């Protein structure tokens, strides 16, 4: 199909893109970090939103080494930078970030910080705008978050590093790009926040304690006002518990409200990772224990409240980690979940737009064929926040 110069000019004015990025109306793919020893990412193509099937399209050797540990989720990030669509994957054991450029998924390079040889307890990545953030947790109790400048062709240049007080379990960057939120599992379970300066420098405001044994996954609302944290109880069978932190304009965390822990958020336990639907009507929560339940919660930002929707489903896996949604509006249509069974793979659920209830699509879960621990997934087109 021909594209006129005038049409391209209008597109450049409206969204600063012209042809190089995937067409969100027709291209849907999922990238998963398989976490193999010689690490590989898997790229799955989605057949359609109405008749969904994932087909393994490419495997991407990162050149680094993964590890069978889910701490540090997400370990996969897709970032649109100008006309470039960048895929970043963490290699915890070799402590590097591998960068790939869409559409050919050519590897741009591997990027390390000095002084960290491995990140044995996982290594997260989160990106937005001009910056990618990576977290490191070593066996020597060395905990670091690095800021990278994203350059042309998805190349990374180290901007700054900061020693932090804990081993990062999960992290997220606010949609306005001004605040980074991290959860720590060790040595003191806590939640931390950082202001992000225009040059990528981080200013720490925490850490903050809370009524939880260990905070786990974190997500941030579209208006950058609230951080939602999955809370693991003191025992594996402790019921689902979720907390909401208010994010102040300076990046510090304010009022904290916790929900659940008493069975009121459904039958699941051992709260893991959390993900808001694009319309912020639903909050999806992964759990532990038998059959690995996935719970749908109703979310009301005006009331700063989560309630049980009445829906809980299970996934055929021995472990689960991060989420993503397929469509960048409404309920998201489909929910992707990184899983590990005999091999790494991705589970796919249809989302009921009225109730948020999940139904596994035929053929789910879809295996990558790689013997690794699926760390996390990222999807195109991305959720807008």
CA angle 238, 69, 294 (to 5 degrees): 40
Give the per-residue pLDDT at 300.
Answer: 97
The class (CATH top level) of 5-380 is mainly beta
pTM of the complete model: 0.92
Domain limits, the chain: 5-380
Give, for all 385 residues of the chain, the pLDDT tens digit.
333 333 333 333 333 344 456 765 579 999 999 888 899 999 999 999 999 999 999 999 999 998 756 566 899 999 999 999 999 999 999 999 999 999 999 999 999 999 999 998 889 999 999 999 999 998 888 999 999 999 999 999 999 999 999 999 999 999 999 999 999 988 999 999 999 999 999 999 999 987 777 899 999 999 999 999 999 877 778 899 999 999 999 999 999 999 999 999 999 888 889 999 999 999 999 987 667 889 999 999 999 999 999 999 988 777 778 899 999 999 999 999 988 877 788 999 999 999 999 999 999 999 888 877 666 899 999 999 9
Give the per-residue pLDDT at 146.
Answer: 98
Give the per-residue pLDDT at 378.
Answer: 96
């Amino acid at each position: 199909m021909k594209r006129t110069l005038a049409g391209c000019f209008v597109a450049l004015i409206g969204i600063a893109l012209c042809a190089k990025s995937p067409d969100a109306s027709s291209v849907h793919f999922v990238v998963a970090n398989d976490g193999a020893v010689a690490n590989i990412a898997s790229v799955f193509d989605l057949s359609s939103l109405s008749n969904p099937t994932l087909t393994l399209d490419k495997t991407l050797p990162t050149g680094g080494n993964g590890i069978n540990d889910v701490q540090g989720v997400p370990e996969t990030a897709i970032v649109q930078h100008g006309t470039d669509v960048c895929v970043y994957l963490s290699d915890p054991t070799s402590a590097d970030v591998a960068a790939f450029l869409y559409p050919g998924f050519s590897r741009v390079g591997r990027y390390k910080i000095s002084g960290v040889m491995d990140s044995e307890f996982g290594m997260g990545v989160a990106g937005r705008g001009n910056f990618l953030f990576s977290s490191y947790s070593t066996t020597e109790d060395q905990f670091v978050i690095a800021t990278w400048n994203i350059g042309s062709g998805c190349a990374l240049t180290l901007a700054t590093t900061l020693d932090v007080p804990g081993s990062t379990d999960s992290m997220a960057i606010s949609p306005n790009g001004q605040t980074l939120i991290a959860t720590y599992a060790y040595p003191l379970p806590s939640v931390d926040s950082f202001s992000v300066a225009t040059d990528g420098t981080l200013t720490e405001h925490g850490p903050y304690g809370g009524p939880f044994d260990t905070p786990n996954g974190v997500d941030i609302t579209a208006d950058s006002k609230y951080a939602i944290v999955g809370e693991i109880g003191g025992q594996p069978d402790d019921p689902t518990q979720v907390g909401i932190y208010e994010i102040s304009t300076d990046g510090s965390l304010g009022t904290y409200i916790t929900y659940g822990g008493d069975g009121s958020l459904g039958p699941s336990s051992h709260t893991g990772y959390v993900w808001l639907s694009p319309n912020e009507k639903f909050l999806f929560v992964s759990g532990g224990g038998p059959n690995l339940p996935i719970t749908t919660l109703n979310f009301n930002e005006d009331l700063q409240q989560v309630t049980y929707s009445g829906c809980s489903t299970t996934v055929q896996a021995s472990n689960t980690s991060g989420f993503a949604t397929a469509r960048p509006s409404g309920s998201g249509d489909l929910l992707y979940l990184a899983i590990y069974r005999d091999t790494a793979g991705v589970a796919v659920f249809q989302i009921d737009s009225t109730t948020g209830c999940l139904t596994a699509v035929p053929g789910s879960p879809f295996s990558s064929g790689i013997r690794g621990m699926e760390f996390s997934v990222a999807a195109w087109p991305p959720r807008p926040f």
